[in-house]
A and B are shown apart, each in its own frame.
Chain A
């Protein structure tokens, strides 16, 4: 932030949207989770300064905001990629060998051990709790689109397709 040429302006603009979100959800503690959800939708993660700002706005300790943010799996403290690939790890998917699928995706995305997001910020791979598409196991959700009965080949093809579309978009 500090390095940017006009940090004050940037911060002002950043908090303007947060203020709108707080106004929409209501400035009280019971709205904390919806506020954080909307903020994350906006920024793809929860920036620390935004969380402190929310704490001040709701008149609760920053530790309480941080406590809630770290408790729920949905919230991320790190920026997520443009495409969020969520691999279901429900029982049905597990029984139908989703491990091979996860390995194939990691391999295709060339993710370094311990990393979930690609360096170009295009993809984030998450292994998530059951998404309730058990009859289509193994299932994968890319952004909000559910893909059922997946195989290693199919997921690689989907990622290739996204890459091709992104490349097209960049050219235009």
Chain B
């Protein structure tokens, strides 16, 4: 996209470019930003961008071709941004500088946006976000309840800058932290700032980042490595993907700073192969940083050099564990090994290696730039800063959110999330994916931070928050996660490999109606054994979903085994579909829809479901307009 990147050879060069880029990007000229995150893209934001460009051209307005073209300072710019977070209402279009926020924009809306907003300066009412609970419409992004309660640090420029143009990042203070650091700071200084800031690993463990860097710095060695762990495998999590797609340069700058701090000259980004767009954006960003001399040998003439390579994962959840990840980069089966030695002592190819998560690294440049005191003003005493969560499931506003650590669960679900969708009742939040646990109504006042969550048997994990309503069966949720960890167990430890399999069998037995009361005790015993006897985090935390559902929803397990009932009416084997003869008019709709021909009956006469044949898919219930099909 950008062709004429200039070499940046000194801090002064960077400042000069920043001044120009900032003046061009954040001027009074209108700027149309179309969200190009995965969510908005899949809803057609590429078509929206094309339609907008065409409509603008048709209206006779000039579109900026190059950001820094002096002759076009007043021209309109139209570009893509990374994820804006509010995926639920995409495709999103923002009009700057006023920050008008349009949702669910279609290509056919382009003409109205150009004529009414860009030319006449008015908002197009029908495209404004409308709060589902209050019905109120909002013109500006920052007034929307979803955003009001958020604080963006890691996500600051996501949804605002064009991730495909390094100059956008530079305009917003990009690489300034690096320039300041290379101008006279020592690695010890950097480690100190990060330590003082209290930044802890955002990938799940919560290990203090400054301490990790300090240890790796002190280990002697000519060759050291930085690894960015972007193997975001937790189901229900997409924070790292969004940061890589929306602001890849922040991660690159974070990696270079980490390299400087520990004395490494080479880094790897290990990304999931399931994230093709993230890989593509990262690759482009690395190339642009190299062209600008912000990455490579002798960065900013400081004598310090750093190189970054991308390694694509190949679909193994366990590779999120650092020693397994290292094995995978080396070209082997991704299996964890015992620690110690820790990667800081002996990591990639036996060299001291520092493994940091994407979000952790994205926080680094801002902390260096604004100081540890600034960072500490957010969050709690022991969990400083903010955390990005992927808020999904049965909640009104799904998307990517960033809130100060210590924000209560209730505030996240009801203030940011807008409550439960479809009028259901809040039942639980599953946090931390297959390693995490469940939080209930009793935890709505619980602050979300590392230590509070651990105290109730859950964990921040990578940050997936899946909200579930009263129609969710908790035994089924436990079975779902156990199925996941069982299939992802690498098989190295017998206890994890066989233990998760036996636990899954028991959970399947319970959800299919074959459970006996002793199963619950066996399940608990197995859970404790797997937790205590496994080598890596996958096995150690695999029983968490079972233990936490057993703790908070034991009555549901008991209903399955004692009363042979699924209280949430979700488990297929406990379901019977039945047609109420009083309401059925014999329209044959359900019979036509039934994939297994289990429904019989003559036209205009009540129909009957053959319970033997029925596979309980619910298609008949969905299609019946008279609501004659009932679930018993």
A residues neighboring B (CB under 8 Å): 28-34, 36-37, 64, 67-68, 71-75, 89-92, 94-96, 100, 103, 107, 128-137, 139, 144-148, 152
What are 26 A-B contacts defined by CB distance under 8 Å? Answer: A33-B328, A68-B332, A68-B333, A71-B490, A73-B314, A73-B316, A91-B235, A91-B481, A92-B392, A92-B466, A94-B480, A103-B595, A128-B315, A130-B237, A130-B238, A132-B237, A134-B236, A134-B237, A134-B392, A134-B464, A134-B466, A135-B398, A136-B42, A136-B43, A137-B392, A148-B39
B311-335 contact mask (Cβ, 8 Å, vs A): 1 or 0: 1111111000000000011111111
Pick the residue among B237, B314, B615 that contacts A33 (CB under 8 A). Answer: B314
Contact-residue bracket for chain B: 35 or more
Asked if B234 is at the interface of the complex by the 8 Å CB criterion, the answer is yes
Pick the residue among B38, B42, B233 that contacts A129 (CB under 8 A). Answer: B233
A91 contacts B315, CB within 8 Å? no
Measured between alpha carbons, how far is A92 from B595 in the docked complex, in Å? 26
Pick the residue among A32, A92, A135 that contacts B400 (CB under 8 A). Answer: A135
Asked if B347 is at the interface of the complex by the 8 Å CB criterion, the answer is no
A-B pairs, 9 with minimum CB distance: A135-B87, A73-B315, A72-B314, A132-B238, A91-B236, A130-B235, A90-B235, A92-B392, A146-B42
Measured between alpha carbons, how far is A30 from B468 in the docked complex, in Å? 42
**Distance from A51 Cβ to chain B, minimum over Cβ atoms (Å):** 14
B221-264 contact mask (Cβ, 8 Å, vs A): 1 or 0: 00000000000111111100100000000000000000000000
Task: Find chain A residues with CB under 8 A from B265 CB.
Answer: none
Task: Find chain B residues with CB under 8 A from A71 CB.
Answer: 316, 333-335, 490
Measured between alpha carbons, how far is A94 from B570 in the docked complex, in Å? 12
**Distance from A53 Cβ to chain B, minimum over Cβ atoms (Å):** 17
Q: Which of A96, A107, A148 has the most CB of B within 10 A?
A: A148
B88 contacts A30, CB within 8 Å? no
B271-307 contact mask (Cβ, 8 Å, vs A): 1 or 0: 0011110000000000000000000000000000000
A148 contacts B42, CB within 8 Å? yes
Measured between alpha carbons, how far is A148 from B39 in the docked complex, in Å? 7
Pick the residue among B237, B394, B433, B618 that contacts A100 (CB under 8 A). Answer: B618
**Distance from A38 Cβ to chain B, minimum over Cβ atoms (Å):** 10
Measured between alpha carbons, how far is A139 from B235 in the docked complex, in Å? 12
Q: Given known contacts A91-B236, A92-B466, is B42 in contact with A145 (CB within 8 Å)?
A: yes
Task: Find chain A residues with CB under 8 A from B313 CB.
Answer: 72, 74
B314 contacts A75, CB within 8 Å? yes
Task: Find chain A residues with CB under 8 A from B615 CB.
Answer: 103
Pick the residue among B237, B273, B274 that contacts A37 (CB under 8 A). Answer: B273
A30 contacts B331, CB within 8 Å? yes
**Distance from B327 Cβ to chain A, minimum over Cβ atoms (Å):** 10
Pick the residue among A94, A103, A128, A144 that contacts B276 (CB under 8 A). Answer: A144
Chain A residue with minimal CB distance to B466?
A: A91
Measured between alpha carbons, how far is A27 from B334 in the docked complex, in Å? 20
A132 contacts B315, CB within 8 Å? no
B392 contacts A91, CB within 8 Å? yes
Interface residues of B in 371-423 (CB under 8 A from A): 390, 392-394, 398-400
**Distance from B452 Cβ to chain A, minimum over Cβ atoms (Å):** 22
Query: Told that A37-B314, A90-B236, A92-B466 touch, could you supply 17 new A-B pairs with CB distance under 8 A?
Result: A33-B312, A34-B311, A71-B333, A73-B314, A73-B316, A92-B235, A92-B236, A94-B480, A128-B274, A129-B484, A130-B235, A131-B274, A132-B232, A134-B237, A135-B88, A137-B392, A146-B38
Asked if B430 is at the interface of the complex by the 8 Å CB criterion, the answer is yes
B433 contacts A103, CB within 8 Å? no
Measured between alpha carbons, how far is A131 from B41 in the docked complex, in Å? 14
B430 contacts A91, CB within 8 Å? yes
**Distance from A131 Cβ to chain B, minimum over Cβ atoms (Å):** 5
Measured between alpha carbons, how far is A51 from B30 in the docked complex, in Å? 55
**Distance from B104 Cβ to chain A, minimum over Cβ atoms (Å):** 12
A91 contacts B433, CB within 8 Å? yes
Q: Given known contacts A92-B466, A95-B468, is B334 in contact with A133 (CB within 8 Å)?
A: no
A134 contacts B315, CB within 8 Å? no
Task: Find chain A residues with CB under 8 A from B333 CB.
Answer: 67-68, 71
Measured between alpha carbons, how far is A92 from B38 in the docked complex, in Å? 16
Q: Given known contacts A33-B328, A74-B273, A132-B232, is B393 in contact with A91 (CB within 8 Å)?
A: yes
Measured between alpha carbons, how far is A31 from B328 in the docked complex, in Å? 10
Task: Find chain A residues with CB under 8 A from B484 CB.
Answer: 129
Task: Find chain A residues with CB under 8 A from B626 CB.
Answer: none
Measured between alpha carbons, how far is A67 from B311 in the docked complex, in Å? 19
Asked if B472 is at the interface of the complex by the 8 Å CB criterion, the answer is yes
**Distance from A124 Cβ to chain B, minimum over Cβ atoms (Å):** 15
B392 contacts A135, CB within 8 Å? yes
Chain B residue with minimal CB distance to A86?
A: B274
Asked if B119 is at the interface of the complex by the 8 Å CB criterion, the answer is no
B29-51 contact mask (Cβ, 8 Å, vs A): 1 or 0: 00000000011011100000000
Asked if B589 is at the interface of the complex by the 8 Å CB criterion, the answer is no
Interface residues of B in 75-130 (CB under 8 A from A): 87-88
Task: Find chain B residues with CB under 8 A from A152 CB.
Answer: 619
B43 contacts A148, CB within 8 Å? yes
Interface residues of B in 567-598 (CB under 8 A from A): 595
Pick the residue among A29, A96, A144 that contacts B331 (CB under 8 A). Answer: A29
Measured between alpha carbons, how far is A103 from B616 in the docked complex, in Å? 11
Task: Find chain A residues with CB under 8 A from B234 CB.
Answer: 130
Q: Which of A33, A75, A128 has the most CB of B within 10 A?
A: A33
Task: Find chain B residues with CB under 8 A from A131 CB.
Answer: 274
Task: Find chain B residues with CB under 8 A from A133 CB.
Answer: 38-39, 42, 238
Pick the residue among A36, A64, A72, A144 that contacts B334 (CB under 8 A). Answer: A72
Asked if B617 is at the interface of the complex by the 8 Å CB criterion, the answer is yes
Chain B residue with minimal CB distance to A145?
A: B42
A146 contacts B41, CB within 8 Å? yes
B423-435 contact mask (Cβ, 8 Å, vs A): 1 or 0: 0000000100100
A72 contacts B468, CB within 8 Å? no
Measured between alpha carbons, how far is A75 from B333 in the docked complex, in Å? 12
Task: Find chain A residues with CB under 8 A from B328 CB.
Answer: 33
**Distance from B84 Cβ to chain A, minimum over Cβ atoms (Å):** 11
**Distance from B216 Cβ to chain A, minimum over Cβ atoms (Å):** 21
B399 contacts A135, CB within 8 Å? yes
Q: Which of B316, B392, B472, B618 has the most CB of A within 10 A?
A: B392
Task: Find chain B residues with CB under 8 A from A135 CB.
Answer: 39, 87-88, 238, 390, 392, 398-400
Measured between alpha carbons, how far is A94 from B394 in the docked complex, in Å? 11
Task: Find chain A residues with CB under 8 A from B235 CB.
Answer: 89-92, 94, 129-130
Task: Find chain A residues with CB under 8 A from B276 CB.
Answer: 144
**Distance from B446 Cβ to chain A, minimum over Cβ atoms (Å):** 20
Chain A residue with minimal CB distance to B488?
A: A129
**Distance from A105 Cβ to chain B, minimum over Cβ atoms (Å):** 12
B315 contacts A129, CB within 8 Å? yes
Task: Find chain B residues with CB under 8 A from A145 CB.
Answer: 42
A33 contacts B400, CB within 8 Å? no
Chain B residue with minimal CB distance to A99?
A: B617
